[in-house]
Amino acid sequence: MIYIIATLSIKPGTFDQVMALATPCIEATRKEDGCLSYDLHRSVNDENTLVFVERWRDMDAIKAHFVEPHLVAWRDGAEGLIADKKIEIITPEDVKVL
């Protein structure tokens, strides 16, 4: 099993726009083969910090996810709304921070 923790700092005042883009992506991703769970959380300490917590069967499922049309639409649409991001990939063998 592989975990992805994606921490996003969104620009102030963009939460509704971000959620409008993220919601269809979340719904479609949960139906993908190899997706074990895919959740979005908002920080209780900073309203502009969002965290995706994802569990995937294997790296092949993640690679397929990265080219899915709903993820591409989310990534392209949210580009101007995100101030900063950190993506951590946690595998049984290694932890990678992008």
The string over 59-85, giving b where at least 16 C-beta atoms fall within 10 Å of a residue's C-beta and e elsewhere, is eeebeebeeeebbeebeebbeebbeee
pLDDT at 92: 82
First to last CA, the chain: 19
Place of tokens 């392209």: 76
pLDDT at 72: 96
| pLDDT tens digit at each of 98 positions of the chain | 999 999 999 999 999 999 999 999 999 999 999 999 999 999 999 999 999 999 999 999 999 999 999 999 999 999 999 999 999 999 887 776 76
Instruction: List, in order of start, the domains of the chain with CATH numbers.
Output: 2-97 (3.30.70.100)
pLDDT at 94: 74
Residue 67 Cα to chain centre, angstroms: 13
Predicted model pTM: 0.89
pLDDT in tens, 27-55: 999 999 999 999 999 999 999 999 999 99
DSSP state of 95: E
